[in-house]
Structure 1
Amino acid sequence: MGSNDSISVGGKQNGLSLKEIIISINGWSKYILSKWLVYIIVGIIGAGIGLLLASIQKDKYEANLTFVIENSQSGDLSSYAGLASQFGIDLGGTVRSGIFSGDNILEFLKSRMLIEKTLLLPIEKNGKGYSMADYYLNISDLKKESNSAISFPLEIPRAKLDRMQDSVLNIIYTKITESNLKISKLDKKLDFIQVRFTSKDELFSKIFTENLVKEAIDFYINTKIQRYNTNIDRLQMKADSIEKLLNQSTVELARIQDINLNAVRRVAGVSNELAQRNKTILQTMYIEVVKNLELTKISLVQERPIIQIIDKPLMPLKNVKIGKVRATFIGAFVSMVLAFMMVVVMKLYKNIMAE
């Protein structure tokens, strides 16, 4: 090309005239367009690579489950919390906190404890049962890669796993959290949580997603129930104890009244007054304890359920494998962009070397 086709890089002049800029742009345009055959050839090669990759890529099935966390409805009980605390009772539920508050739920759903618990659950295919851990080892080729004969029998307790099983389970957990499982909020202002699980097996994606969320819900409910049941048992014991004392006080008062039925001296009425006062105190305590007992039971009911499932994964699941047509166009486009950049770089290099 002539000298008009090159653009000065770090030239001797402090600036370029408008004519020189137009000539340089025209030179660059002609040079870039003159390489059209390179773009086509490279584009065809890229399209072929994209088509090849799409052909050898294995199917991937994505299961989506969306649920919403409800805010606690026990605000009406807050006025009774102080009263209940006098008896050592925590009604709870006035503020939603803990693992299900804020973004804690996102990390909890990816926790090792929860995922391992889910992996030890059973899954059935073609009438045969497997542990989900064994099933995952087979579909992910981890068993072949590690040449391991480690297996996880159905319904085996987590505490009974040996050292090798624990090691393999940790490998599965790491792979799932890094490659398969995605937890996100649909909107930062809302409590809608989306669980996405992608794997080569359609059935496993669906069952694992459902079981993971179910285990999380069960864990939360059981934790809540345990606390409330502890409070209920404590209150029930107090109520039974006070009721027993109240009954004894009633009998004692009746006995004293019978003895002093025809008494003349005033001192005879003192024991009667003391018995009456004790009975009144026990009645008041019994009423308050029973009230707190019923409030705790109401609070327990209001805490369930805390999570509502909005969307469940339904068969057939979405196949997220990239299509052949799309892969062909992407391969062609990316390769042509790279070819264009190489042409520009080579042109700059020639201009610099010609200075």
Structure 2
Amino acid sequence: MNKASNNDEAITLREFAGRLGDTWKYVKKKWSVILIIAIIGAIAGFAYTFKKTYYTATSSFVLEENSKMGALSQYSGLASLAGINLNSESGLFQGDNILELYKSRTMIEKALLTESEFNGKKQLLIDRYIDFYELRHKWKSKDQIDQIDFKGDPAKFNRTQDSIITDLCDKFNAKVLNVKKLDKKLSIIVVQVTDKDELFAREFNNRLVDMVNNFYVQTKTKKSYQNMVVLQHQADSVRSVLNASIGGVASAADATPNANPQMLTLKVTGQRKQVDVQASSAVYGEVIKNLELAKIALRQDVPLIQIIDKPVLPLSNDHIKKIKGVVLGFFLALFISTSFITLKNLLSPAKLPGQTKRHE
């Protein structure tokens, strides 16, 4: 039984090897069909090179935040044994929330409503985008919108203006804007803007990065800054009171230049002013100390944002040269057509090795 089985297997392998030879002969017979398909592929590759080129503007920067643990850091190891994590910080911009901030409607709207110079002419980014894609013509024929203007206060925009900006924000998040971290363990953030308009892609990328980073810094330091402003106002007020008290002491002394030492009542006014000076000086010293501490806290709260790369012209693009498109289209079509004809002939049920024996 084993010898018979080995003989059958040997015959099957010989038949399959012969089948490969027959397939090669069959492929050579079909050379004209394969060549025609390859030529069609070359034409398709050539036509593909005429498609609109998409440009990608890329910015990258490092974001580093200062820890506020201070003296608590020395107890973090002991606290971790008790299941308490003292090193964790929570906030609006922790983790991946900063990435979502880039995709927010507010940030995209602010970037679109900024003005940049294109070919020597100042223009809103949103107007540049609308003109490049001829959206006003589409709106006029479809929605009967003849005139639309985005200058002025965004808070006073009408329903149509808000609707257009919302649609653009959705489109940008879906197709134009890509924000990501190179690695979850790293603090390097990459912002990419892809569009057919090379100048718009670069300007929008720059504006968006500036808008978000400035908003980030202002929000992170808002509480510390407000605290510093209040302390500065208090210091100025106490300083004014102190100056007035010092002036009062001098005025009281001038009012009685040769006072009778026996008349104690003549000294009351000056002594009162002197008490005011001492009290104001103590308060002023404490306020100044707190003000300096507030300034230090403000400097510590400012996050470090260091730009690594900014988009420069010419931007990277997906354009394929005509010769490359023809060659790639030709050989891709050649490979696919040859593989299809080869597999079709090898796997043909009527010609598979051993097929005749099974029928018998």
The answer to whether the superposition gives a TM-score over 0.5 is yes
Identity %, equivalent residues: 35
Note the 1:43-192 alignment, pairs <5 A: 43-54=38-49, 56-72=50-66, 75=68, 78-79=70-71, 98-146=91-139, 147=141, 148-154=145-151, 156-192=152-188
Structure 1 residues 29 and 135 mapped into 2: Cα distance closer, same or farther (>3 Å)?
A: farther
Shift of residue 240, structure 1, vs aligned partner: 6.6
More deviation, 143-152/297-306: 143-152
Post-superposition CA distance 1:18-65 (Å, at most 9, x none): 3312421441453156324133332221121011111x2123222111
Residue pair 1:186, 1:194 contacting (<8 A) in 2 also: yes
Contact 2:57–2:316 under 8 Å retained in 1 = yes
The TM-score normalised by the length of structure 2 is 0.70
| Aligned-partner residue type, residue 204 of structure 1 | F
Once residues 220 and 294 of structure 1 are traced to their aligned partners in structure 2, the CA distance between those partners, rounded to angstroms, is 24
2:45 and 2:329 in contact (8 A); partners too: yes
Kept in 2, the 8 Å contact 1:134–1:151? The answer is no
The one-letter amino acid paired with 1:53 is Y
Unaligned runs of 5+ in 2: 73-86, 249-261, 263-274
Matched residue, 2:259: none
SS at match of 2:308: strand
Aligned partners of 1:150 and 1:164 also within 8 Å: no
Q: Distance in 1 between matches of 2:302 and 2:149?
A: 33
Alpha-carbon distance in structure 1 between the residues aligned to 2:38 and 2:47: 14
Distance (whole Å) between structure 2 residues aligned to residue 116 and residue 22 of structure 1? 71
Distance in 1 (alpha carbons) for counterparts of 2:229 and 2:164: 42
* CA shift for structure 1 position 140: 2.9
CA-based RMSD of the aligned residues comes to: 4.0
1:56-90: per-residue Cα shift (whole Å, max 9, x none)? Answer: 21232221111110232x65x8349xxxxxxxxxx
Between 1:294-303 and 1:139-148, the stretch displaced more is 139-148
Shift of the 70–33 alpha-carbon distance from structure 1 to 2, 3 Å rule, reads farther
Structure-1 separation of matches of 2:138 and 2:189: 34
Output aligned runs, 1:266-277, within 5 Å. none
2:37 to 33, 39, 42: 42
Quick one: distance in 2 between partners of 1:141 and 1:16? 72
Candidates 10, 13, 23, aligned match of 1:18:
10
Aligned equivalents of 1:230, 1:44: Cα separation in 2: 71
Query: What is the aligned partner in structure 2 of residue 319 from structure 1?
Result: 317
Matched letter for residue 94 of structure 2? S
Q: Write the distance in 2 (CA, Å) between the matches of 1:322 and 1:330.
A: 10
Q: Kindly tell me: are residues 306 and 340 of structure 1, through their superposed partners in 2, closer, same or farther at Cα, counting changes over 3 Å? A: same
Distance 1:189 1:122 in 2: 36
SS in 2 for 1:130: strand
Partners of 1:182 and 1:196 within 8 A in 2: yes
Runs of 5+ in structure 1 lacking a partner?
A: 1-12, 81-93, 252-261, 263-275
Matches for 1:282-297 after TM superposition, within 5 Å = 283=282, 289-297=287-295
Instruction: Select between 306-315 and 22-31 the one with higher mean Cα deviation.
Output: 22-31
Secondary structure class of the residue paired with 1:296: helix
Could you list the per-position Cα deviations for residues 171-230 of structure 1 after superposition, in whole angstroms to 9, with x for gaps in the alignment? 222222222222222233211111121222221111111000000011112223432222
Distance 1:114 1:32, change over 3 A: farther
User: Could you list the per-position Cα deviations for residues 135-166 of structure 1 after superposition, in whole angstroms to 9, with x for gaps in the alignment?
Assistant: 11222343444445453333x22212211111
Q: Aligned partners of 1:100, 1:47: CA distance in 2, in Å?
A: 51
**What is the TM-score with the length of structure 1 in the denominator?**
0.71
C-alpha contact (below 8 Å) 2:150/2:161 kept by paired residues: no
Is the CA contact 1:50–1:328 (under 8 Å) kept in the aligned structure 2?
Answer: yes
Query: In the alignment, what sits opposite 2:347?
Result: 348
